[in-house]
Amino acid sequence: KAGVTQTPRYLIKTRGQQVTLSCSPISGHRSVSWYQQTPGQGLQFLFEYFSETQRNKGNFPGRFSGRQFSNSRSEMNVSTLELGDSALYLCASSFGQSNSPLHFGNGTRLTVT
């Protein structure tokens, strides 16, 4: 079956702009979580959505937001971009239990100039 799909693959934005990233989970998965990966901080949890509701949120400012649609597809939005937001953004889908594996996409590489 198809894996987790993230679009776009690469993105270049300017400081102050906003950006929307998309994630299509594996069919049947109701949980989508988002992560930011940078060389300095590693892989950090942003938030998780389950059945269109945000279940958990990491320690990121309110400029980072997301949503999930009825078909489980998810988007994350970053407003007022800063240079430090340059990172690889990964999403992962799962059935939503702690013993169900996370399936990751290959990420969106965001560069803020």
Partner 1 sequence: DAKTTQPNSMESNEEEPVHLPCNHSTISGTDYIHWYRQLPSQGPEYVIHGLTSNVNNRMASLAIAEDRKSSTLILHRATLRDAAVYYCILRDSLRSNSGYALNFGKGTSLLVTP
Interacting residues with partner 1 (CB under 8 A): 4, 31, 33, 35, 42-45, 48, 50, 55-56, 58, 90, 92, 94-107
Question: Is residue 97 classed as helix, strand or coil in its secondary structure?
Answer: coil
Q: Which is nearer to partner 1, 26 or 78 (CB)?
A: 26
Minimum Å distance from CB 32 to partner 1?
A: 9
Minimum Å distance from CB 39 to partner 1?
A: 9
Concatenated DSSP letters of 8-67: -SEEEE-TT--EEEEEEPPTT--EEEEEEEETTTEEEEEEEEETTEEEEE-S--TTEEEE
Minimum Å distance from CB 9 to partner 1?
A: 10
